[in-house]
Structure 1
């Protein structure tokens, strides 16, 4: 294979989804509910979040959705609350999420760049949160392209934001690998004509990802071995 670029999803891929977002979601629900247990449960039900267990359900629309879609989801349990305000709150809180990198990111990304690969991030989170998270772990400089759902290229599962990376890097799509933890990521990669790798640091399992992936890896740390093989 002639691989010249890799575009990563963020949450569940560069960062372990559960370790990063389960506690964050519980805090957001507590704040939006104002201590009302019935409202907290209604919000949790809308987001498919298990309050008792403190974890997202695998079918939660929040997992692979955009920040706007998450805001609309929560707004369904908050009649009269402005969706724009909820989205702004989610973006502000997301930028402060307790990050759990899937692997030590700086040495991992340094090694990929040393191979001559161009690297990008495309997340259905906001571009603001993407920059905040990458900056917080000191790896922004490794990426040639960072985009969110609000960057003007669209959102996954559409292929457009992935093709924007290929165009910006002057790479043919077939020389790019899309790496993600959800079918949204992999469907977008396939539609863009890219190679696709699934990782198991999100909420989806092998059976869900395998039909859309060239390979399913435990985490992104196994990518160099896959490239060499």
Structure 2
């Protein structure tokens, strides 16, 4: 890992703990959409593989690595009469106010990586504008932020990753892709980047081992991987 000159992070489940952030968000949003209708609430939870009692996404949920549009496509069939365009807008609005829980303290980690000379980026299947809102406290430390709606496509396609490589004028082999899902790590493979899988999402080590070059509990282990004290 000594040759790594840039790091590209996924956002949810990587920079932010997935269940701690999005479990409470999803439960509140589904309650809002259900408007007191328990049958509708149960149907929506089933559609997105969400455990209402535990306020946690199941490992197989498509929401974990999906885009906002994919979430709308899952919910629309159980919300007849609701305009999908309104639904997508409301989901994005609610996402901006999600109770973010950092996987590790972000500012000292990111500042240390920048001080080492690393360029930093984020490639998320969230909306770019939501990603920028979520990263507002540390946004000046990033050289690149892209979402599924930024014109590069969504993961597991490598478009966002190759866009970061071009923006940094670096070869993909010199960029570490860090993520918590198959989508992240498959995108890294497709882009020709080494990959680091972290366990602050929903996937287990056994889930990610086949597609990750390296596994660590969280992004706080990156400095040691790079040989930084």
Give the superposition deviation at 1:79. Answer: 1.6
Give the superposition deviation at 1:72. Answer: 1.1
Q: Matches of residues 50-129 of structure 1 in structure 2 within 5 Å? A: 50-129=51-130
Where does residue 168 of structure 2 map in the other structure?
169
Q: Deviations over 1:194-228 (max 9, x none)?
A: 01000000000011111111111100000111111
- Paired with 1:8 and 1:77, the residues of 2 have a C-alpha distance of 33
> Would you say how many aligned residue pairs link Structure 1 and Structure 2?
227
| TM score, norm. by length of structure 1 | 0.97
- Paired with 2:45 and 2:84, the residues of 1 have a C-alpha distance of 17
Q: Deviations over 1:139-182 (max 9, x none)?
A: 00000000110001100000111000000110100000000000
Where does residue 189 of structure 1 map in the other structure?
188
Where does residue 139 of structure 1 map in the other structure?
138
Where does residue 38 of structure 1 map in the other structure?
39
- Paired with 1:34 and 1:106, the residues of 2 have a C-alpha distance of 39
- Paired with 2:95 and 2:103, the residues of 1 have a C-alpha distance of 17
Q: Deviations over 1:2-48 (max 9, x none)?
A: 11110000000000001100000000100111111110000000010
Where does residue 160 of structure 1 map in the other structure?
159
**Could you list the runs of 5+ residues in structure 2 that have no partner in the other structure?**
none
Give the superposition deviation at 1:80. Answer: 2.2
Report SS of the residue matched to 1:150. Answer: coil
Where does residue 214 of structure 1 map in the other structure?
213
**Could you list the runs of 5+ residues in structure 1 that have no partner in the other structure?**
none
| TM score, norm. by length of structure 2 | 0.97
* Backbone CA RMSD of aligned residues: 0.9
- Paired with 1:181 and 1:140, the residues of 2 have a C-alpha distance of 21
- Paired with 2:65 and 2:93, the residues of 1 have a C-alpha distance of 18
Report SS of the residue matched to 1:197. Answer: strand
